[in-house]
Every structure is written in structure tokens, then in C-alpha cells.
Chain A
Amino acid sequence: MKLLLIEDSDVFGRGKGSHYVAADAVGAGRGEMVLTAAGSSARQTKLTRDRPVDAVVMAIVETVERDGEVTYRKGKVATP
């Protein structure tokens, strides 16, 4: 099982400085924005079923839109 170090981010993909570890169910890589599920929900993948895991990466983000504006697009560097 691959474990990833995840940094919380805002809608622009900018890191917030807080980190946690999550199992990877989608093949995510460094720099990608991802969605994670926490708590017992994290055990609801084939990879993590019945495993002692409380966070799982369950999606890789392509775009984020907030209030009608695209704030993040995969592959583009976040603007400060």
C-alpha cells in the first residue's frame, strides 16, 4: 500500500501548512490536488478494507470552480 503525505490546500491549490498521511487508492503523484475521505469512510476501498487506515486519497482533481471562476486547473502552477 502506498502512503502519501498530503498538505491541506485552498481552492487555488495553495498549501495551508498542515499535513497528514493518507493511503492512495487512485495512483496520485507529487504536486497533484486530490480529494481524500477521512474516518471510517477511508476503509471503503478494496485497498483499505478492514485495514487500520483513517484517510484515503479517492480522487485526483482536474479543475476547481468557485463562484463561477476556475480557481485551479491540473498542471497549472498556483498563483500566490
Chain B
Amino acid sequence: MKAGRVVGSVVAARVAEGLGDRKFLLVVPVDEEDRAEGDAFVACDVVGAGRGSRVIWVGGKEAALGLGRDDVPVDAACVAILERHGRGEEER
């Protein structure tokens, strides 16, 4: 699992079976200091994240499991909203 920040959203005109009511978010991977680290990608939302949310996302086939099923064609999903994180004594 990795950290990211939601920077936008994607609305679909048509989706594959099983993805009917899913929200797609535009996510930028971030490092420990919340700095963008690489290009934005699209991930399915399963936790009600929105623009500005810091999230934990999972990639690969496991992403579908976040949607509560294993038969949908999804390769990235936001599975948690990050409240704070820390290393040692420090917390952000």
C-alpha cells in the first residue's frame, strides 16, 4: 500500500460490468512529507475520499478486493483516508 493525495476526479460515460456506481479519483503519489512523487493516476474510491484527502491506495488485482469483490477490472483503489502518520516521535 502507498500514500497519495486526491487532486481531482474522473466521471465515466460508460463502465465495464460491476463498476456501475463507482467513483474514480485522480490521485498523485506522495512521499513522507506529502510532496508529489510522480504522475497522477486514476483510482477507484471505496472510502469516500475527495479532493485534498490524503489516502492509502493499493495497486494490482488486490484493488478489486477493496471494492468487496474479486471480479471487477480495477487495478488501483483508495482504501483508507490518512489522518496522520509519523516516524519515531514525530507525527504529521
Contacts and interface: CB of A to CB of B under 8 A. Distances in A.
A binds B: yes
Interface string A3-27: 0000000010000000000000111
Contacts of A67: 7-8, 51
Interface string A36-80: 011111111110100000001011111111111001001000000
A68 B71 CA distance: 32
Contacts, number: 92
B40 A38 contact: no
Q: For this complex, into which size category does the number of interface residues on chain B fall?
A: 20 to 34
Interface in B5-23: 7-17, 19
Q: For this complex, into which size category does the number of interface residues on chain A fall?
A: 20 to 34
Given A58-B16, A62-B12, A35 B61 contact: no
A45 B10 CA distance: 21
Q: Residue among B8, B10, B16, B24 with the most chain A CB within 10 A? A: B16
A41 B10 contact: no
A23 B71 CA distance: 16
Interface of A: 11, 25-27, 35, 37-46, 48, 56, 58-68, 71, 74
